[in-house]
Structure 1
Amino acid sequence: MTKLEWIDWLVLIVTLLAIVGYGTWKTRGRKNVQDYVRGGNTSKWWTIGLSVMATQASAITFLSTTGQAFTDGMGFVQFYFGLPIAMVIICIVFIPLYHRLKVYTAYEFLENRFDLKTRSLTAILFLIQRGLAAGITIFAPAIILSVVLGINIVYLNIIIGILVIIYTVSGGTKAVTVTQKQQMFVIFAGMLAALFITLNMIPDEVSFTEALDIAGATGKMEVLDFSFDLENRYTVWTGLLGGTFLMLSYFGTDQSQVQRYLSGKSMKEMQMGLLFNGLFKVPMQFFILLCGVMVFVFYQFNPAPLNFIDASTEKVLQSEYRNDYIQLQEKQNELFSEKKTISMQLAESHNPALKQQLFSLDSIEKTYRAESKFLIKKAIDSEYASDFNRLSNELEALRANPTSDAFIAKSEELDTLYADAAKDTQTNDRDYMFIRFILKHLPTGLIGLLLAVILSAAMSSTASEINALATISSIDLYGRNQKEDKGEEHMVKMTKWFTLMWGVIAIIIACVADLAENLIQLVNIIGSIFYGNVLGIFLLAFFFKKLQANAVFIAALITQVIVIIGWWFDWMPYLWLNLFGCVLVILIANSIQVLTKKTDLNV
């Protein structure tokens, strides 16, 4: 646990309360659906652009992307290569249609084109995947801050969720949009300051160009990968093909994004807002990855821990594996001395042979880190081993009567123990790297600002998500299935109740979530499972004018089952699931239509 100085607390609290207070005050008293759901259609293009960027830039972006760069380098930026292409297509195809129909949600269009059940199905698919993602965007910063502040993660999930609920319930879409401008200002200021300070902490003898050279020697600056290796998640092709389809789905059919630009003053403002996002999003992600790479360079000249999760390190040092871990730390310390010497020599001479040496030393360090994770896992497993054995033996003795209260109680106790062990076994420290660097090495005041960056990003994403979830629940499901018109005031009231409901659900999901391999990948995987199918449904609606609703509905159900099976058995990198799901639903729908016509002719 790291103790924050009072100035950091002041910067953090004042920043967050100012954003929540401003958003609540600025958008109070919205009484009709047009104002509450579409923000009164008053947003200018720069507001839309910043709001769209803020919706996508969650806390996960800063915690996981920097950790991704520290571990694997700049190659993750290829994930976003399809985004500018997607923005142009959405501006040409999606926005004119949405604007002409004056829809409140993306899925209203599907009922006009097909039928109510197709609209309801896509709305439900959205609610599932975005509801899960909303919980993760709360959970990500809560994990970190629970370690930093020594506060129970459940309490932090609740605090973050409540802050978002306050202004989102109060002002709806306008509150989300207004606060996101302030949040993006905080985010840009914090990340620029972090990069500037990090560069200043690298030895004076090492210029920025030389720092990039050191990073490049270990493969961290390999941005482009033109290989067709399906085992590689991030290549130019996965970015341009899979990434384009993911971004088309996300920005064109995901209500959390569609609602941002539907608040635009005119169709031109909506289009310019998305083009602004297409122009600046890739450089922004490149910049965030570069921050992670510069932290990596910093640790070539400063000792780095074997594992960035202090709590996990403490556990292994209190276990029977303490001596093994200390010996591993000593090896890493010796390795650090070699790395520092070679890095300084490389900065002075640019000798290719030194690059190869640095690359080899970095590979050795990776093996040390992997071994440290193995020791941590063994330490935690041994801590729980006796309880596992005891409960297993007790269950075995009761197995003759598996429906008894005693057997059920012991089974539940064992399940709880498994869950506790899983939470404790946090060996994958990528998502902790950046925050630990901030807390250990950055100056007082800037720490508070960067914690505010992380929380602001979490709040901006979560607010957009629960705002969209509430809109879909209210407009597409509740409102559409009412037999009589309930009136504007009633619908606004119900949308507020749905906002509260989804905020509470997001908090609950955050409380039961667990650390994945990498949080930003987890969010993208969840999206990829559903987005391709939904995008395919929209493309069928746009370009296949003779296709009937039943064929699309059945095809969508079949496709979703196949995609989930494909993800479960890991048929392909998750980015390809977007293209796969999109193409599959189009093929199946057209096949069903043809078979149905043939059957009708035979009859």
Structure 2
Amino acid sequence: MSWIDWTVLLAFLGYTIWDGTRRGKDASTIEGYLLANRSMPWWAAGLSVMATQASAITFIGTTGIAYVEDMRFVQTYLAIPFAMIFICMFLVPFFSRMQNFTAYEVLEERFGLKTRLTTSGLFLISRGLALGVIIAAPSYVLALLLGLPLYLTILIIGVIATLYTTVGGIAGVITTDVKQMAIMMFGLIFCFILIWVNLPDEVGFEGALYLAGSLDKLTVLDLNFDLTEKYNVWSGVIAAFFLMASYFGTDQSQVQRYLTTDSVKNARKSLLMTAYAKIPMQFFILLLGVMLYVFFIFNSAPASFRASEPVAQNEQQQIAEQKILKEYEVAHLSRREAALAVVQERDPDTQQLFVETDAALNAARDAEMALQAEIRQADVNDTNYIFPYFILNHVPVGIIGLIVGGIFAAALSSIDSELNALTTVSIVDWYQRLKGDLHTEAHYVKSSRGVTFFWGALATVSALLMGETRSIIELVNQIGSYFYGSILGVFILLLWVKRANGIGALIGLISGMFSVFAFDRLFFNTATGNYSFIFPWDTMPDGYVKAIEFLWLNPVGTTVVIVVGFVVSLASKNK
């Protein structure tokens, strides 16, 4: 990056620290520090909800998924409007009436302290694990963009987020989230327009869509019901409903946003903002990834976006790499000529030739990735490096710094929210509850700041120790799917199963967690039709695929919790 871009980036990071910490003066009480005295405007809370979920995961990972695959990932978000209506009807009034600090306080009155602590403990574990990923994943990309050591980018993200969240509390978090969301959207829209205007004149936007459609890149909906397929309409509407209802309705990082508003009406409005805006926003980001694919049909691109320099270490590998890169270069030129021809002719023969040349190029790309994996003795992919490569090589000077700032903003907007939520649960559900309400407001505010610093430091250290991830956004959703369904089941027992009691809810929750982990390790042999449990330490036999993909773990966990919780509750009452 040029000195101009560095100046823009440093100015943005400096402003973020100032903007977040200046709200510290409003956090003199525990309610002010954790809930902003329930005085935040609905639109700010709504933007914070969107920014918390979006993060660098959306900025980097989603565009990469569309580039490598297609747009079917948008199906994951089809359930959001239904989940938001469900939450607005049932959970928001319930939380508002209870005037609680956390989503898990309400469990104790009916199900007892053990259930409250177990559920909140699962939140601490799940979000604590995810927070390290949220810091680590964009740090790899930013290290490449900035030419800095990896540990330094991790420290920059971790330290800045921890600093202003520790000082400013939830008000500082929401204030910075609003600006960070604006920077993120500016960067995405600018890149989309930049790609559009730099396409060849004879192609244009309509021609780009025709080319993408020829390669099935514009595939959005998959109507086939298949539990082994990650993304289809059924997993997006049914399975993802449980994920989204639990994430937005029972995850403290989201619940805390609408608890900062002053009424049920404003809490609902903050959630409905996401219900209306999330699918169009996600569709646009995926379309940006598709347009990026078309852009690199007509512009040079490396065989691997992850490493622009050859990685071969011995003569045999050097020969193999030279052969692969030659094949890639020939395929790239052939594909470009075929693409121009198909835009002009638009007949089946030229279209088929274009598809074949694209397949040849991707075969060379796959061979290069396999060679890198062999040399590095590790799984290698470049999904998370595609969009950053475009930024670094095709965005004008000055704007690069702002867009890189947008990636930082995307990372920070999720980290600060998670830190504040982890602190709230740690203080309210554990420290304050177990120690008793014996201390002053000043003590709890001071303790909250100390706990925020602890979680920030722990997440930063775990990010430093973490390996590189395959796809940022998928990994975070997978981590959440291990926990969310079971936690949602406990809240359903609370609201609608009147006969459920504490022992039933607790055993149901534990059973739900075990069922999720069991189904996650269930594999299907496509040749014999046999099912087998294969644990992570076992060698994966050939021909096996997952029996159900990760989104379906959510309804599994919810169903098991409800059924077991109801049965055990009845049995314990009869006994």
Could you say which TM-score interval applies, normalised by the shorter chain? over 0.9
In structure 2, the partner of 1:438 is 391
Find out whether 1:495 has 2:492 as its counterpart. no
What are the equivalent positions in structure 2 for 1:477-492 lying under 5 Å apart? 477-492=430-445
- Compute the displacement of 1:154 (Å): 1.8
Pairing partner for 1:158 from 155, 158, 163: 155
Give me the whole-angstrom Cα distance separating, in 2, the residues matched to 1:522 and 1:483. 38
In structure 2, the partner of 1:93 is 90
Is the CA contact (8 Å cut-off) linking 1:66 and 1:288 kept in structure 2?
A: yes
Is the CA contact (8 Å cut-off) linking 1:39 and 1:263 kept in structure 2?
A: yes
Give me the whole-angstrom Cα distance separating, in 2, the residues matched to 1:318 and 1:464. 47
Q: Deviations over 1:263-322 (max 9, x none)?
A: 0121111101100111001111111111111110011112321111126x4322666411
Question: What is the TM-score with the length of structure 2 in the denominator?
Answer: 0.94
Find out whether 1:347 has 2:343 as its counterpart. yes
Bigger drift between 83-92 and 365-374 goes to 365-374
Bigger drift between 126-135 and 21-30 goes to 21-30
CA RMSD of superposed structures (Å): 1.4
Q: Deviations over 1:204-246 (max 9, x none)?
A: 2212111111111111001010001222100011000111110
Structure 1 pair 577–9 and aligned structure 2 pair: CA distance change class (3 A): same
Query: Which of structure 1's runs of 4+ aligned residues deviate more than 6 A?
Result: none
Give me the whole-angstrom Cα distance separating, in 2, the residues matched to 1:66 and 1:31. 41
Is the CA contact (8 Å cut-off) linking 2:515 and 2:560 kept in structure 1?
A: no
What are the equivalent positions in structure 2 for 1:376-525 lying under 5 Å apart? 376-381=372-377, 425=378, 427-525=380-478
Find out whether 1:551 has 2:527 as its counterpart. no
In structure 1, the partner of 2:312 is 316
Pairing partner for 2:66 from 61, 66, 69: 69
In structure 2, the partner of 1:117 is 114
In structure 2, the partner of 1:363 is 359
Give me the whole-angstrom Cα distance separating, in 2, the residues matched to 1:186 and 1:307. 28
Find out whether 1:304 has 2:257 as its counterpart. no
Q: 1:480 is matched by which residue type in structure 2?
A: R
**SS of equivalent residue, structure 1 residue 481:** helix
Give me the whole-angstrom Cα distance separating, in 2, the residues matched to 1:51 and 1:567. 32
In structure 2, the partner of 1:591 is 567
Listed as ranges, the gaps of 5+ residues in structure 2 are 523-545
Give me the whole-angstrom Cα distance separating, in 2, the residues matched to 1:594 and 1:541. 15
Give me the whole-angstrom Cα distance separating, in 2, the residues matched to 1:540 and 1:168. 34
Q: Deviations over 1:324-354 (max 9, x none)?
A: 1111111111111221112112222322333
Give me the whole-angstrom Cα distance separating, in 2, the residues matched to 1:87 and 1:595. 34
In structure 1, the partner of 2:185 is 188
Find out whether 1:19 has 2:16 as its counterpart. yes
Q: Deviations over 1:380-412 (max 9, x none)?
A: 34xxxxxxxxxxxxxxxxxxxxxxxxxxxxxxx
Question: What is the TM-score with the length of structure 1 in the denominator?
Answer: 0.89
What are the equivalent positions in structure 2 for 1:168-187 lying under 5 Å apart? 168-187=165-184
Is the CA contact (8 Å cut-off) linking 1:7 and 1:444 kept in structure 2?
A: yes
Give me the whole-angstrom Cα distance separating, in 1, the residues matched to 2:519 and 2:426. 29
In structure 2, the partner of 1:573 is 549
Q: Deviations over 1:20-46 (max 9, x none)?
A: 211211343511111111111111121
Give me the whole-angstrom Cα distance separating, in 1, the residues matched to 2:155 and 2:333. 44
Find out whether 1:222 has 2:198 as its counterpart. no
**SS of equivalent residue, structure 1 residue 308:** coil
Give me the whole-angstrom Cα distance separating, in 2, the residues matched to 1:212 and 1:560. 44
Give me the whole-angstrom Cα distance separating, in 1, the residues matched to 2:506 and 2:547. 25
Give me the whole-angstrom Cα distance separating, in 2, the residues matched to 1:484 and 1:259. 21
Q: 2:347 is matched by which residue type in structure 1?
A: N
Is the CA contact (8 Å cut-off) linking 2:23 and 2:169 kept in structure 1?
A: no
Pairing partner for 1:375 from 371, 374, 388: 371
Is the CA contact (8 Å cut-off) linking 1:428 and 1:517 kept in structure 2?
A: yes
Bigger drift between 214-223 and 441-450 goes to 441-450
Identity %: 38
Is the CA contact (8 Å cut-off) linking 2:132 and 2:462 kept in structure 1?
A: yes
Structure 1 pair 230–354 and aligned structure 2 pair: CA distance change class (3 A): farther
**SS of equivalent residue, structure 2 residue 311:** helix
Q: 1:289 is matched by which residue type in structure 2?
A: L
- Compute the displacement of 1:373 (Å): 1.6
Structure 1 pair 541–344 and aligned structure 2 pair: CA distance change class (3 A): same
Q: Deviations over 1:553-580 (max 9, x none)?
A: 0111122122122223444100000111
**SS of equivalent residue, structure 2 residue 288:** helix
**SS of equivalent residue, structure 1 residue 476:** helix
Q: Deviations over 1:405-439 (max 9, x none)?
A: xxxxxxxxxxxxxxxxxxxx462111111101111
Number of residue equivalences: 552
**SS of equivalent residue, structure 1 residue 203:** coil
Give me the whole-angstrom Cα distance separating, in 1, the residues matched to 2:97 and 2:105. 12
In structure 2, the partner of 1:233 is 230
Structure 1 pair 318–47 and aligned structure 2 pair: CA distance change class (3 A): farther
Is the CA contact (8 Å cut-off) linking 1:232 and 1:573 kept in structure 2?
A: yes
Pairing partner for 1:167 from 164, 167, 187: 164
Give me the whole-angstrom Cα distance separating, in 1, the residues matched to 2:330 and 2:54. 39
Give me the whole-angstrom Cα distance separating, in 2, the residues matched to 1:495 and 1:471. 7
Give me the whole-angstrom Cα distance separating, in 1, the residues matched to 2:409 and 2:231. 28
Is the CA contact (8 Å cut-off) linking 1:38 and 1:173 kept in structure 2?
A: yes
Pairing partner for 2:57 from 55, 60, 72: 60
Q: 1:316 is matched by which residue type in structure 2?
A: A
Pairing partner for 2:103 from 89, 106, 109: 106
Bigger drift between 538-547 and 483-492 goes to 483-492
In structure 1, the partner of 2:325 is 329
In structure 2, the partner of 1:212 is 209
Pairing partner for 2:272 from 268, 272, 275: 275
Listed as ranges, the gaps of 5+ residues in structure 1 are 382-424
**SS of equivalent residue, structure 2 residue 312:** helix
Q: 1:365 is matched by which residue type in structure 2?
A: L
**SS of equivalent residue, structure 1 residue 306:** coil
